[in-house]
Amino acid sequence: MSIGYPCITVGVADTKQKTCRKASATEEHLSSLIEHNLTALKHIIEFNGHHQIRLFRISSDIIPFASDKEVNTLNWSEQFFDQFQELGQLISQYKMRVSMHPGQYTVLNSPDEDVVKRAIADLEYHTLFLDSLGVDSSSKLILHVGGVYGDKGSAMDRFVEVYNSLSENIKDRLVIENDDRSYTIEEVLTISERTGAPAVYDNLHNAINSSDDSKSDAHWIKKAKQTWKTRDGRQKTHYSQQQMNNRTGSHSKFIAIDEFMKYYSEVEELDIDIMLEVKDKNLSAVKCVLATTKNGDIKDLYDEWNRYKYVVLERSQDIYESIQSLLQNQSSYPVIPFYRLIEAALDEEPTSTTGTNAANQVWGYIENSATEKEQDKYRKLVQEVKNEESTLKKLKTYLKKLIKKYDQQDILDSLYFEF
């Protein structure tokens, strides 16, 4: 079983991708952006590999305007052949499985022929990208069925018809997923039976748009498993949690460890890959990997603590001290209690007192290096926060500027400035 996350990272240097407006999409500019984005992907893959994350979804935007041949005229697959080769080798080295997920406008069952043509062009782009990496057919393209258009039966028929017209290269990679509005997992399984496309089960979508509330996640995963062939690789599923007090279907800020471990205990024996769809991306992926690791090493929790500790201190001195105490036993691996405490802190908002306390701890790294003028400005901002005359965000922005200036990489590598 592998656990992964989609598209972007939180708190990982040199992984931000870039795009541009159509008006500035010259060949030179696009070439620069693609080179940058492929390099950023390399850094993501290296981060994932070092953290035992074996599942990753690559952003569809990595090649800007790739499916619009009038805008992007580059032969990018050949132009960046060496970078693709290097990326493919890294993916193989780390035994990583990658995927892509064309967006909401890639609709195969639209009654509008132009929409379908654009959708097929988009699938051709995604397929070429994965082919360029040299990854096998277990690296998938995930797609929703599409719209209903007033007649679901006809819409499903159109999907099957268009699917059958696709090239074998696309069909080798394409998998279909249940969604939270139109197509239930049962309907997706019906389409899967008619097309041969494997079905991806999404637990939150099913909770919102279910065909049978009495059936468990494990039930539907077992049903979907029958659609996966050997060449498709291990069965892939999507897992997410509902964000409280937000719109229905909104992904949570982080994966709550107790809820995830309950799910994991139900599916552990089913030999599946789990893609986490969550707002904090790699942070929750690392959490879930460590929580499900057999014979874990407390060193990994110390590494995590070094990244989180000022985020926690910024919210709660008591939780900070509880975690420090929890990690004192060198022979233990208290991964679940550790993340429960992290989550409890993240559920709190910083106050002027807790916020300035954490800022002062970080300030200690550079206090002796800062100029007198910088010291005066910092103290002034702290007092303004305490007096509620300024915001903690403004204080941290200035503090980050100084941390960068005085090259305190340990703090920059932490999550303190990400929250």
Residue type, 40: A
Residue type, 272: I
- Please state, for a pLDDT cut of 70, what percent of the chain lies above it: 100
For the segment 359-363, the average pLDDT, to the nearest whole number, is 98
pLDDT band at 344 (very low <50, low <70, confident <90, very high): very high
pLDDT band at 3 (very low <50, low <70, confident <90, very high): very high
pLDDT the model gives residue 331? 87
Of 52-56, 192-196, 263-267, 327-331, minimum mean pLDDT range: 327-331
For the segment 122-149, the average pLDDT, to the nearest whole number, is 98
For the segment 372-394, the average pLDDT, to the nearest whole number, is 96
pLDDT the model gives residue 330? 84
pLDDT the model gives residue 249? 86
Residue 30 has pLDDT above 90, yes or no: yes
- Count of CA atoms in the C-beta half-sphere (13 A) of 235: 23
C-alpha distance from residue 391 to each of 216, 350, 358 (Å): 46, 11, 14
For the segment 190-203, the average pLDDT, to the nearest whole number, is 98
pLDDT the model gives residue 299? 96
Q: Helix, strand, or coil here: 11?
A: coil
For the segment 352-361, the average pLDDT, to the nearest whole number, is 97
Rounded distance between C-alpha atoms, residue 380 and residue 400, angstroms: 16
For the segment 161-185, the average pLDDT, to the nearest whole number, is 97
For the segment 230-238, the average pLDDT, to the nearest whole number, is 97
Rounded distance between C-alpha atoms, residue 149 and residue 177, angstroms: 18
Full 3-state SS string of 39-106: HHHHHHHHHHHHCCCCEEEECHHHCCCCCCCCCCCCCHHHHCHHHHHHHHHHHHHCCCEEEECCCCCC
Specify the domain boundaries for CATH 3.20.20.150 within the chain. Answer: 3-291
Give the H or E element holding residue 313: helix 298-313
Chain center to CA of 295? 26
Residue 244 has pLDDT above 90, yes or no: no
pLDDT band at 363 (very low <50, low <70, confident <90, very high): very high
pLDDT the model gives residue 390? 93
Residue 246 has pLDDT above 90, yes or no: no
Token pair listed for 26: 């010259």
For the segment 115-132, the average pLDDT, to the nearest whole number, is 98
pLDDT the model gives residue 319? 98
- Identify the residue whose tokens are 């990595």: 62
Q: Name the packing angle between helices 185-195 and 152-165 (round to 10°).
A: 40
Which CATH code, of 1.25.40.10, 3.20.20.150, 3.30.413.10, 3.30.470.20, is assigned to 3-291? 3.20.20.150
For the segment 180-196, the average pLDDT, to the nearest whole number, is 98
For the segment 197-218, the average pLDDT, to the nearest whole number, is 96
Nearest residue to 72 (alpha-carbon basis) of 60, 83, 63? 63
Nearest residue to 61 (alpha-carbon basis) of 21, 23, 19, 93? 19
User: What's the first-to-final CA gap in the chain, in angstroms?
Assistant: 30
For the segment 79-101, the average pLDDT, to the nearest whole number, is 98
pLDDT the model gives residue 64? 97
Chain center to CA of 56? 8
For the segment 215-237, the average pLDDT, to the nearest whole number, is 97
pLDDT the model gives residue 141? 98
Residue 211 has pLDDT above 90, yes or no: no
Nearest residue to 116 (alpha-carbon basis) of 67, 74, 175? 67
